Chains A and B, each alone.
Chain A
Amino acid sequence: MTLEQKMDDFKAQFESGGPPYNAPKAVIEVFHRATEDLCQSGLAERALKTGERAPAFTLNNQDGNSISSAELLAKGPLVITFFRGHW
C-alpha cells in the first residue's frame, strides 16, 4: 500500500468520527479550518525551493549525539524530512 493510501485511510477513519479516535465533528471542522488557513496563508510558497541553498545545521539525534549536515553531505546527497512529531 502506498503512503498516500495509508494516509487517506487514516483520514477517512478519523473523519468518520468513529473509533479509535472518536473525533467530535467540531474538532474535525477545526482541523479543516486550520489546514485551509495555512494553505491560504501562502507560507508553503515562501519556503525554500528547488535550486536554493540549503542551510547547514547541527542538531542532536535521539541519543543526544550531535549530527551535522556538512558531515552527511560529505558522504553523498541528503534527504531531509521535516515532521511535526509523534505524539
Chain B
Amino acid sequence: MGERIFFGIAALGAISSGVAVVTVRNPFRAAVALIVALISVALIFLLQHAPFVAMIQIIVYAGAVVVLFLFVIAYLGERPPNLGPDPLAEYQVFTWIAIIGLGIEGFLALVNSHLPGVHSNPTITSDIGSPHAIGNAFIDQFSVPFEATSLVLLVAAIGAVLLARRAVLGERGR
C-alpha cells in the first residue's frame, strides 16, 4: 500500500509539472517546472528498483542539462519572443485528434494486453539496479554501446564548437 501512495504522489508531481512545462508561457518557469518533473521521475526510478539511474537522473538531468537550459534562457533574455498570431492555428484540431487517438489506442493496448503478469507487481529476486550491477552489465554485455556513447558525446562536442564558430563568423567577428 505504501508503495502505491508513493507512486501516486510521484506520478501526480510528474504529470502536473509536465502540464506546466507544456502550457507555461515563460521559458524560465517552464525550465523550473521541468526540474520538478525530472525529480518526480527520479522518485519513480527509485520505486522501480533503479537507485543508480535515479541518482544519475538528478545529477545529469536536473543538474547539468537544466542548468544549460537556464544559462541559454538567461543569455537570450527572459522575455518571450513576440510572435504574433499563429498562422497554423486552423490546423491545431489535427494535433488534438492525434493526441486523443494515440491516448485511446495506448489505453486499449494496456487494458487488453496479454503479456503475462503485466497487471501485477513483479518480484525482484536479484540485484538489478545498484551501481555494482549496472557496472557489471556495462562491462560484461554492453561494452560496445558504452564506447559508442563516448563517440556520440565527441560528435556533439565538435558540432557545438562548429555551430558557435559559424555564428561568430556570420557576424564578422562582432
- Say whether A associates with B: no
| Interface residues, chain B, with chain A CB atoms under 8 Å away | none
